[in-house]
Structure 1
Amino acid sequence: MTIYILIISLVLILALVAMRLANDFKIPQLLLFMLLGVSFNFFGADFTNYAFSNQVSSLALMFIIFYGGFGTKWKMSKPVAKEAIILSFLGTISTALLTGFFVYFVFDFSLLEALLLGSIVGSTDYASVSDVLVSRHLKLKYNTDSLLELESGSNDPTAYTMVVLFVSLLQGQRVNVPILILLQVGVGLAFGFILGWLFIRLLDYLKSNEGLEVILLAAAALFTYEFTNQMGGNGYLAVYIFGIYIGNKEFIGKREVVFFFDSFTNLAQIGLFFLLGLLSDPGSIIAMIPIAFVIMLFMTIIARPASVYGLMFPFKMKKNQLSVIAFAGLRGAAAIAFAISVVNSDTPNMNDLYHIVFDICLLSSLIQGGLLPVLSKKTDMVDPEDASLRNFNSLQDKSDVGFLATKIKADSDLADAYIRDINLAFDFIIAKILRQGETIVPKGNVQLKVGDIVVMAGRSYFDVVGTDLLEFRINDYNSWVNKDIKNIHLDHEFLIVLVLRDDNDLIVPNGDTKIREGDTVLVLDAKGIEG
């Protein structure tokens, strides 16, 4: 036990050093973690326990996928959700099948084995992409970050379903493909939403403020994953949906959850890539490099671009955006976990799938990871105003800072005003200005224009009690329909705070605001409202 504690502590220290070296020398961090694992083999390490590794990798990937969903801001992702979901489902299938058929025709693989390999490496890894973009302080234009985040966060379950299918076929099982896909996807989606709905209400009921939310959410994610698997569904899909549902709700202790899982998922990624290196054999790595290089090259210049350009053609995207999306198909944590599970399943195969996947991930991190920043700059896809993917939204989750946005109207006192002349009566600061899709830095000599969206920052408020607001929808029979707020009789203790119209038009009400059928109204302490 003592020697294992020493080894684990040494690995963690070396991993932190590797992170610093990666930042200094502009090398993908995950690449160094893989090489760190390989280096232990040169000192006599002989670790080939695939059963244990499968359990560890599945658990690590589950938490990585959960937190990927948790950190997905649906409001940011919604404008590109259709494109991202198409890529995560059809794009993953297309990339996997094209790669599989290529491997079948070029190398000495059976068809099923080739398709299995294509499925293992078919999904993209946002952690790898994010690592490259954040470390190089790059922010992509046209909401491409959100598209890649949603696509790569949600495409692992598709690849996993394909892996399960081809493993079953290779093992000689009789598989009803439509039923298998229906169960994997349908049950996964259903339990992701249902358990998310249940656990957010449990969080609200417990109202703990002692850091126990982290324990509850970790346990809930584990339960969601394993329960869905036991019901025949895709546990990875369920836990991703669960993460999105929970992550887009506000609850006590959310910042603590974010801080914990930020560190924990980093540790999980370090562990996965280190484990991949530790399980490898240096001789086999070298032997499989030619095959892996050809496959990685095919995926990079043909399979992934063909899938992206073909599926995104109806959406009329810009060519430079498509180029970056197509090139950003880095392979990572999911491919590692799937490769380990395939080896552990004793699936009959003629080729060394594990070391081929190892080399594909290694070369993908080295070549694609190294060239992605260059391509982003060459194609003018870098937004010069935003420094990295850690933006306003992640800041809100990690601090007491809140953001408000208001649009400058023609009759506003702020129209044509200079920033230096604006005297905010409250403790707010203008954080940035959005003008016709461009970000303006709010310096003193900047003049506000009609149509500008002004983003203000200040201390946010979280309602611990959670019972002071009542939200309800105005139906056609409601007595408030078509009434001005000043003509609605409310007790003096009550106040209409906000009106949400058409699901996305947020109205700050005044006495002349007319309530319409279909509005969602938020009322402060609304007990005892009179019609």
Structure 2
Amino acid sequence: MPSYSPELFLFGLGLLLVLTVLAGSLSSRFGLPALLGFMALGMLAGSDGPGGIRFNDYMLAQTLGVLCLVFILFSGGLDTQWRAVRRMALPAVVLATAGVMLSAGVVALAAMWLLDFSPLQGFLLGSVIASTDAAAVFAVLRHSGLSLRDDVRSLIELESGSNDPMAIFLVGAALLLMSVAGASPLSLVPDFLLQMSVGAVVGFGVGAGLPLLLRRVHLNVGGLSLVISIAAAMLAYGVAGVLGGNGFLACYIAGIVAGTREFPQKRTISLFQDGLAWLAQVVMFLALGLLVYPAQLPDVTVPGLAVTAALMLVARPLSVFLCLAPFRGFDWRAKLFVSWAGLRGAVPIVLATFPIVAGIEGAQAIFNIVFFVVLVSSVIQGPTLGWLARRLGLDEKPAG
């Protein structure tokens, strides 16, 4: 293994980060999610590209991805204006749970029919790509200058911020069923209830404790409050995991709860966590891009397009229209836009590393298909979100 001096390593890392941000900004100018620029640079810097960086440590990438998601979800919760979006909590929770399961099931059936996958392989693939990405959606909307209808914006924000735990649970369930002979799906129900309830309780506790601690402890150095905020995100994930709960749900709820309370340097902490979340996205997408061998992607073009079509045109619309049917406030236009706004991002790619680490047969093909689906759905859906919102009359121009 070649050795590098600290100076050369830091120079290379700094240069990669700067180039990644520039690539993300460039992709945003064309109405594409910044994640495409991040991943594209990672692919160019990888072993198949001119950069020649050989990186195939899926365990390290998985660990790095989990750590980055902790800060992304905590920051997302902290920035959520709960008083403005709380009336959308129930439909968002239905979409984030039942909607994710429906999407995973439809994609599983499509994979069995179109790709000759086994039921469990199809279920695994469907679970991996079932969750949506809030950062990708809102980055596109902000760049397009779109003022989306409040209820639709709140629904998308809450759903995409809270649907990762269900997808993660489903992936874990699929891996368990594939690796443990005789495991029953019904035996997973108590585990699911435990994970969600413990994650919610821990998240609420940490989110309420952070403002209380900052109010009670008078820190002589202002920067220490930023350290406390980092610790809060880590504690939410770690404590929930130790107690058998869902750490990602705990992080998101901790951020939401903390954001509803007043505490010293709240604005500074929010800005710091936003910057940390962006750094996490850059690092995560860069690492995931390095994992991909572009030369292998043509082999999954046909199955990737088939899965993308099933996800975009059948699974996502069906889950949205069915889950929102009881909520009369959403007409067909809102449902259609929410269906099209289901961009995929980092979480499916991170989850696609789990089967590889677990040694599941065909895991590399699933990883390549998932990566292909994320790329194609971003290229197709990202640039058309603003246009579709205007065509459907969901763009609310500010008064005056």
TM-score (norm 2): 0.93
Partner of 1:17: 22
CA distance in 2, matches of 1:2, 1:101: 52
Aligned pair partner of 2:323 in 294, 297, 311: 311
Cα separation, partners in 2 of 1:194 and 1:350, compared to 1, 3 Å: closer
CA distance in 2, matches of 1:51, 1:97: 27
Q: Given residue 224 of structure 2, which amino acid in structure 1 is its aligned partner?
A: L
Q: Give the structure 1 partner of residue 380 of structure 2.
A: 367
Match of 2:231 among 198, 214, 219: 219
Q: Of Structure 1 and Structure 2, which has the larger fraction of its residues in strand? A: 1
Aligned twin of 1:40: 45
2:119 to 94, 104, 111: 111
Contact 1:50-1:344 within 8 A present in 2 as well: yes
Cα deviation digits, residues 37-94 of structure 1 (max 9, x gap): 1111312222101121111111001111111111111111112111111111111111
Would you say the 8 A contact 1:109–1:351 is kept in 2? Answer: no
Name the aligned partner's letter for residue 333 of structure 2: N
- Matches of 1:379 and 1:24 in 2, distance apart? 23
1:356-380 per-position Cα deviation (integer Å, ceiling 9, x unaligned): 1111111111111121112111111
Partner letter of residue 235 of structure 1?
G
* SS of corresponding position for 2:324: helix
* 1:201–1:121 CA distance, 2 compared to 1 (3 A): same
Report the equivalent of 1:320: 333
Find the counterpart in structure 1 of residue 309 from structure 2: 297
In structure 1, C-alpha distance between the alignment counterparts of 2:363 and 2:96, rounded to whole Å:
30
Which shifted more, 158-167 or 139-148? 139-148
Identify if the C-alpha distance between structure 1 residues 191 and 150 changes in structure 2 by more than 3 Å, giving closer, same or farther: same
SS of match in other structure, 1:83: helix
Shift in Å, 1:263: 1.3
Distance 1:20 1:101 in 2: 37
Match of 1:178 among 174, 189, 210: 189
Q: CA deviation at 1:351?
A: 5.7
Task: Name the residue aligned to 1:201.
Answer: 212
Is the aligned partner of 1:30 residue 2:35?
Answer: yes
| Equivalent residue letter for 1:147 | L
| Inter-partner Cα distance in structure 2 for 1:61 and 1:233 | 16
In structure 2, the partner of 1:389 is none
The one-letter code matched in structure 2 to 1:381 is L
Q: How far apart are 1:142 and its partner, in Å?
A: 4.2
Larger Rg: 1
Give matches, 1:105-144, under 5 Å. Answer: 105-144=113-152
Correspondence for 2:198 among 187, 196, 205: 187
In the alignment, is residue 165 of structure 1 matched against residue 173 of structure 2?
yes
- Could you tell me how far apart the structure 2 residues matched to 1:244 and 1:86 are? 18
The amino acid that maps onto 1:377 is: R
**CA shift for structure 1 position 304:** 0.6
Q: 1:253 to 1:39 in 2, by over 3 A?
A: same
> Contact 2:21–2:38 (CA<8 Å) still a contact in 1?
no
- Structure 1 stretches lacking a partner, 5+ long: 386-439, 442-531
Write the distance in 2 (CA, Å) between the matches of 1:115 and 1:266.
31
Q: Is the 8 A contact 2:31 2:382 kept in 1?
A: no
Counterpart AA for 1:4: F
What is the SS of the residue equivalent to 2:38?
A: helix
Instruction: Name the structure with the higher helix share.
Output: 2
1:262 corresponds, among 274, 278, 284, to 274
Q: Secondary structure of the equivalent of 1:143?
A: helix
Classify the secondary structure of the residue corresponding to 1:314.
coil
Secondary structure of the structure 1 residue equivalent to 2:326:
helix
- What is the identity, as a one-letter code, of the residue corresponding to 1:188? G
Aligned residue for 2:304, secondary structure, equals helix
Q: Tell me which of the two structures has the higher relative contact order, counting C-alpha pairs closer than 8 angstroms and 6 or more residues apart.
A: 2
Alignment of 1:49-68 (within 5 A): 49-68=57-76
> CA separation in 2, counterparts of 1:199 and 1:158?
26
Which of 326, 330, 343 aligns to 1:330? It is: 343
Structure 2 CA distance for aligned equivalents of residues 338 and 86 of structure 1: 22
Would you say 1:7 and 2:7 are equivalent positions? no
Q: How many residues align?
A: 387
Residue 79 of structure 2 corresponds to which residue in structure 1? 71
Listed as ranges, the matches of 1:123-522 within 5 Å are 123-172=131-180, 174=183, 176-208=187-219, 210-316=222-328, 317-349=330-362, 352-385=365-398, 440-441=399-400
Give me the whole-angstrom Cα distance separating, in 2, the residues matched to 1:49 and 1:4.
18
Quick one: structure 1 residues 23 and 179, their matched pair in 2 at CA, closer, same or farther if it must change by over 3 Å?
closer
Q: Secondary structure at the match of 1:356?
A: helix
Q: 1:188 to 1:376 in 2, by over 3 A?
A: same
Deviation, structure 1 residue 289: 2.1
Which residue matches 2:3? none
Between the aligned partners of 2:363 and 2:137, the Cα distance in structure 1 is: 32
Provide closer, same or farther for how the CA distance between residues 372 and 320 of structure 1 changes in structure 2, counting only shifts above 3 A: same
SS at match of 2:320: helix
> Which residue identity does 2:300 align to in structure 1?
M
State the distance in 2 between where 1:28 and 1:224 align: 29
Between 48-57 and 36-45, the greater mean CA deviation after superposition = 36-45
Distance 1:18 1:297 in 2: 27
Q: Percent identity at matched positions?
A: 33
Runs of 4+ displaced beyond 4 Å:
none
TM-score normalised by L of structure 1: 0.70
